[in-house]
Amino acid sequence: MNRKVYLFALLLILAAAASISAKVVHGGHTVSSEYSRHLWRINMTMNITGKGSRAKVRLTLPRDNARQTIYNEHFENDEMVFYVRERPDTNRIGFWRSELLDGRKTLQYTFSAQLKSLMYDIPKDAHLSVEPFKTYPVDFHRWLEPSEFIQSKDVIIRRHLKKAIGREKNTAAVIRKLFDFVRGQVRYRSEKGSKDAKETLKKLTADCGGQARLFCALSRAAGIPSRLAGGIILTGGTKNTTHVWVENYVAGKWIPFDVVNDHYASIPNHYLELYRGDYYLFKYVGLSKFEYFFFIDVENMPPVDNRWSLYALPIHFQAFAKVLLLIPMGALVVAFCRSVIGIPTYGTFGPILLALAFQEISLQMGIFFLSVVVLTGWVLRKILDHLKILVIPRMAIILTMVVIAVLAMMVVGSYFGAKNIFYISLFPMIIITWIIERFSVTQSEDGTLAAFQTSLGTIAVAAAVYYVIRMHAVRIYLFAFPEILLIIMALLLVLGRYTGIRVMELWRFRELNRLKGKTSL
């Protein structure tokens, strides 16, 4: 029988190893925890409220270019009509439309992005064109002409252009002087609405949009094709701010410049481009309320284009999948602690669920809360025993007490400003209720000492599971290679055939060892 179990376990390990090897060799995965490129996961959420009339929402969508690759796009349209319109040489536009929108809707756009940083060298021998409209093709004329917010032919703009560059004709030198002029003269200030180029020059204060428009206007006035680019500076977490920079066309290349963050002829690997030109990221009509935010996450793993990969899941489901993957790992720890070490616990899944709850608050706070609730429930259980209450109503009363304790702790946490205590609501209340019941039964059958020993064992195993599943490597590798679950199954098969002495039994029967030693003497 053992041979069959070990053979089956070996087959599971070989299957997992073969699948992981295929991913590493042919699928572009990596087994290194440090990867030179970042995989970004972005979720754009728009909460909209209609007026009871026709409504439309427009969103500029990212597209592939020399430094960014977009894949695994997922749209949630909440019963609105959705379509994408491609505009050559500029932007992809996503439209949500409803003929009669009344009430609240939630629209979501989730995708993955692979980005890289770029640095450019501006040729030293390039010079300004005397007649740029003849030098550049017709397609570039829109990047030379003035616009509503980029007044490149304005007298004041041209006057400051002469002050900034003098008689300089070298393209690299001109761009450097214009960059330094805007960065040195205009002070950054966050504003609700961006200024145009002329207003920025007048006030000498502006946000990224105003400074980018001024730099773009000066570049166009100098005869250099110039356009705005907008997107998001990616950092992990939630945000609702965007960023604008400039791209100048020099020697056959569009070269990026970010005056605000001092990126000259370069762009870092956390700038996600969403649109080109002086556009708005969002536009909408027929709405009484519009709110949006971005949820951004990053993993040190390669991109996965396989539609069957966990990376293809929408970002809000990925977090749930990561939790599911941790449960078998927790079960392995519990099985080892009970079968090999011999630590008693209240059930198999109790320590796992407690450890998952400990992830959201500190381990110390979780143990304190669990101890208080179990002891309080035990006292209540004793009182109910004297009242001769039936089992089901008794369990329901204890569950109600647990809920009251959770709510009380949340109120106390709110009063003292400890907002992490709010996550106590994630505690598995049914499991805690069951632990209270088992504590009372064990105390009546095996004594108070045995009940407390099992309680301490449950907490100790939950703490062990907590430390294992919170390891960064465990989370990363399980999500990238879920085949590891087959290896966990193999280890559990081996543990299932373990018949050796447990570690705790060595301590329990220590007196026999002493007697054996004396007898041998």
91 and 216 part of one domain: no
Nearest partner of 95 among 81, 105, 109, 111, judged by Cα: 81
Q: Cα–Cα distances in Å, from 500 out to 1, 2, 13, 489? A: 16, 14, 23, 20
pLDDT for the residue 14 = 93
pLDDT for the residue 205 = 93
439 and 480 part of one domain: yes
90 and 150 part of one domain: no
Q: Which helix (H) or strand (E) holds 52?
A: strand 39-61
CATH classification at residue 170: 3.10.620.30
219 and 261 part of one domain: yes
Amino acid at 256: P
Q: Which of 299, 321, 348 is the last residue of a domain?
A: 299
220 and 352 part of one domain: no
Return phi, psi of residue 321, to 5°.
-65, -40
pLDDT for the residue 408 = 87
Q: What is the mean pLDDT of each run of 10 residues along the chain (521 residues)?
A: 84 90 67 52 93 93 89 85 82 92 91 90 91 92 95 94 93 96 93 88 93 96 96 91 95 95 95 93 93 84 57 69 91 93 87 85 84 88 86 88 86 70 69 84 84 91 93 85 93 89 77 61 48
| Rounded Cα gap, residues 130 and 128, in angstroms | 6
| Rounded Cα gap, residues 141 and 127, in angstroms | 18
pLDDT for the residue 302 = 47
342 and 474 part of one domain: yes
96 and 126 part of one domain: no
441 and 507 part of one domain: yes
* CB within 8 Å of 161: residues ≥ 6 apart: 178, 218, 221, 222
Is 161 a domain residue? yes
Is 17 a domain residue? no
Is 107 a domain residue? yes
74 and 178 part of one domain: no
Nearest partner of 321 among 297, 349, 338, judged by Cα: 297
Is 385 a domain residue? yes
The pair of three-digit structure tokens given for residue 43, joined into one six-digit string = 């979720």
pLDDT for the residue 29 = 55
Phi and psi based region of residue 388 (left: phi greater than 0; alpha: psi -120 to 50; beta: remaining): left
418 and 487 part of one domain: yes
Structural domain for 416, as ranges: 313-513
Go through the chain and tell me how many residues it has.
521
CATH classification at residue 57: 2.60.40.2250
pLDDT for the residue 494 = 92
Is 519 a domain residue? no
331 and 234 part of one domain: no
**Buried b or exposed e, range 159-183, using 16+ CB within 10 angstroms:** ebbeebbeebebbbbbbbbbbebbb
107 and 183 part of one domain: no
Is 82 a domain residue? yes
Is 274 a domain residue? no
Return phi, psi of residue 49, to 5°.
-130, 125
Place of tokens 């309080």: 376
Is 348 a domain residue? yes
Number of domains in the chain: 3
